């Protein structure tokens, strides 16, 4: 994990937020490559689940919704986590996590049992045993809004807006059940302990779908299909599927309205943890919003006007930051390279590496890689090479995300592009301008190099990067 965190900072993927002020409790900024990587994951998700499907439409609702939405959903009264403080060192813990760590017991939801279980147990931070009572904390961020009395909240999940706009979508978009509404956006949770880099933060992004179905429909095959689609998506963006496992919530742990909930867990370097979830939520959300707002949120069957019902919903919910972290963990590779005399795949004149060199490569699938092609002149101080390379860069950047680099020697530029996961590098050398108008194309994974005519480069990359 440390290696990934340090690479992310060194190479402009993810920075600790507000570092010049000493940082801000586990908040992060996505740097230039991280922002692009995040966008590529979002785009892949939107393409797969909205653009390529006839039965799902998109939505972009506000972050601050009417406070009644959260009363109806139960968040105002019940979106709580249990916390406990060590009186000696003042460190705060999430109580259920701490109890599990110290006793192996899962007592989530039972405050008095957790308080009891902690008696005599030592604080992992200071070694003393002096605990406060376990108590709950609502995780919604409160703020104020002119014209509204009382607090308003930053949304703790994106789903709320989807239920609120359910009727608008039905009335305006000719959707027929079964259909889904998808949304990507920020969510905010005042987590008691934010940790594990971008895995658990207080401000994060979700990609959620509410898939509405007829309550009498056979939902189990649909549920299974959704699970497979979720796994398929992760494979497509480069998450190692062998490190993903399904975890079904036990009947006792299910929310009262849920018929089934399955998390996909990923083997992160700090342990197996939730990557995304899929829940059958019955008609809980629409019924609650209908009750609190007074609106009629029933659906009328277009083939039978007498058939009216509140649909049931399947909710595939993805965390974008957790997906990005899983992509980074899956892509991160360290390779010990053979000495140049043994030839090996790296061959050629421009990819010289010392014998003991270990190369770090982010093996992103090309469609997710932040930069697709890097273009270099062999030497920085030869205007003819620089001009030619810039010309190629200008042409390629019309269709691909490209980078021009003339810093340091070519070997160092390759190392840097490997570390940001760029699938291809193009190097312009003296042969390009004096002989054959061809450039060297170097493949990130095999390190093989081949000469390609400059005029053929756009077509070549269209093939390679499709």
Where does this chain bind ligand ATP (CB under 6 A)? 157, 189, 191, 200-201, 204, 206, 274, 276-277, 317, 319, 321-322
Is residue 183 within 8 A of residue 72, CB to CB? The reply is no
In the three-class reduction of DSSP (H, G, I as helix; E, B as strand; rest coil), residue 352 is classed as coil
Q: Which is nearer to ligand ATP, 139 or 379 (CB)?
A: 139
β-bridge mates for residue 366, sequence order: none
Least separation in angstroms between CB 159 and ligand ATP: 9
Least separation in angstroms between CB 181 and ligand ATP: 16
Q: Which is nearer to ligand ATP, 15 or 141 (CB)?
A: 141
| Residue facing ligand ATP at closest CB distance | 319
Least separation in angstroms between CB 441 and ligand ATP: 38
Q: Phi and psi of 331, rounded to 5°? A: -80, -25
Residue 319's closest CA among 204, 163, 182?
Answer: 204
Least separation in angstroms between CB 186 and ligand ATP: 11
Least separation in angstroms between CB 157 and ligand ATP: 6
Residue 170's closest CA among 369, 273, 375, 308?
Answer: 308
Residue 82 host element (H or E): strand 80-85
Is residue 335 within 8 A of residue 351, CB to CB? The reply is no
Residue 52 host element (H or E): none
Q: Which is nearer to ligand ATP, 167 or 200 (CB)?
A: 200
How far lies 264's CA from each of 242, 314, 365, 464, in Å? 12, 15, 21, 31
Nearest-angstrom CA–CA distance, 167 and 298: 8
User: Cβ–Cβ contacts within 10 Å for residue 273, how many?
Assistant: 17
DSSP 461: H
Q: Which is nearer to ligand ATP, 206 or 449 (CB)?
A: 206
Q: Which is nearer to ligand ATP, 157 or 403 (CB)?
A: 157
Two tokens at 223? 């549920």
Q: Which is nearer to ligand ATP, 16 or 458 (CB)?
A: 16
Two tokens at 454? 């400059």
Least separation in angstroms between CB 322 and ligand ATP: 4
Nearest-angstrom CA–CA distance, 255 and 284: 10
β-bridge mates for residue 81, sequence order: 137
Please, which residues have CB within 8 angstroms of residue 171's CB and are 6 or more apart in sequence? none
Q: Which is nearer to ligand ATP, 206 or 289 (CB)?
A: 206
Least separation in angstroms between CB 263 and ligand ATP: 7
Q: Can you list the pairs that 27-36 forms with residues at least 24 positions away whose Cβ atoms lie under 8 Å?
A: 27/194, 27/201, 27/202, 27/203, 28/197, 28/198, 28/201, 32/370, 33/370, 33/371, 33/420, 34/8, 34/324, 34/370, 36/370, 36/371, 36/401
Q: Which is nearer to ligand ATP, 140 or 457 (CB)?
A: 140
Least separation in angstroms between CB 292 and ligand ATP: 21
Least separation in angstroms between CB 317 and ligand ATP: 4
Least separation in angstroms between CB 320 and ligand ATP: 8
Least separation in angstroms between CB 161 and ligand ATP: 15
Q: Which is nearer to ligand ATP, 93 or 461 (CB)?
A: 93
Q: Which is nearer to ligand ATP, 319 or 370 (CB)?
A: 319
Q: Which is nearer to ligand ATP, 200 or 413 (CB)?
A: 200
Nearest-angstrom CA–CA distance, 427 and 405: 10
Is residue 323 within 8 A of residue 415, CB to CB? The reply is no
């Amino acid at each position: 994990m440390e290696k990934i965190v340090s690479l992310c900072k060194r190479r402009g993927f993810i920075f600790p937020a507000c570092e010049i002020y000493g940082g801000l409790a586990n908040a992060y900024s996505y740097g230039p490559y991280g922002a692009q990587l995040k966008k590529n994951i979002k785009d892949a998700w939107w393409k797969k689940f909205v653009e390529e499907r006839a039965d799902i439409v998109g939505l972009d609702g506000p972050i601050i919704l009417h406070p009644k939405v959260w009363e109806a959903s139960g968040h105002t009264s019940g979106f709580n986590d249990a916390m406990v403080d060590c009186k000696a060192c003042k460190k705060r813990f999430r109580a259920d996590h701490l109890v599990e760590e110290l006793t192996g017991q899962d007592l989530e939801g039972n405050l008095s049992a957790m308080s009891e279980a902690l008696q005599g147990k030592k604080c992992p931070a200071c070694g003393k045993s002096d605990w406060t009572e376990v108590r709950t904390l609502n995780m919604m961020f409160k703020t104020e809004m002119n014209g509204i009395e009382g607090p308003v909240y930053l949304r703790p999940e994106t789903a709320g807006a989807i239920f609120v706009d359910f009727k608008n979508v039905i009335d305006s978009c000719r959707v027929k059940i079964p259909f889904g509404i998808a949304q990507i956006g920020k969510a905010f949770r005042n987590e008691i302990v934010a940790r594990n880099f971008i895995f658990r933060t207080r401000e994060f992004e979700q990609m959620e779908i509410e898939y509405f179905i007829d309550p009498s429909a056979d939902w189990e095959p649909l549920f299974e299909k959704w699970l497979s689609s979720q796994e398929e998506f992760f494979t497509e963006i480069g998450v190692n599927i062998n490190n993903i496992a399904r975890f079904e919530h036990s009947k006792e742990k299910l929310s009262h309205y849920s018929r089934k909930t399955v998390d996909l867990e990923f083997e992160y370097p700090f342990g197996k943890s939730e990557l995304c979830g899929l829940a059958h939520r019955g008609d809980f959300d629409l019924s609650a919003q209908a009750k609190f707002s007074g609106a009629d949120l029933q659906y009328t069957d277009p083939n039978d006007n007498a058939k009216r019902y509140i649909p049931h919903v399947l909710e595939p919910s993805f965390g974008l930051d957790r997906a990005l972290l899983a992509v980074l963990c899956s892509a991160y590779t360290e390779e010990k390279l053979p000495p140049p005399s043994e030839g090996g795949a790296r061959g050629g004149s421009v990819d010289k590496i010392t014998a003991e060199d270990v190369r770090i490569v982010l093996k992103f699938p090309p469609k997710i890689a932040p930069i697709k092609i890097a273009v270099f002149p062999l030497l920085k101080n030869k205007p003819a090479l620089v001009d030619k390379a810039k010309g190629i860069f200008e042409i390629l950047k019309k269709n691909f995300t490209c980078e021009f680099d003339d810093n340091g020697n070519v070997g160092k530029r390759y190392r840097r592009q490997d570390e940001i996961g760029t699938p291809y590098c193009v190097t312009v050398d003296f042969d390009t301008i004096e002989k054959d108008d061809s450039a060297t194309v170097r493949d990130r994974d095999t390190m093989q190099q081949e000469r390609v005519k400059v005029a053929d480069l756009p077509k070549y990359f269209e093939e390679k990067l499709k």
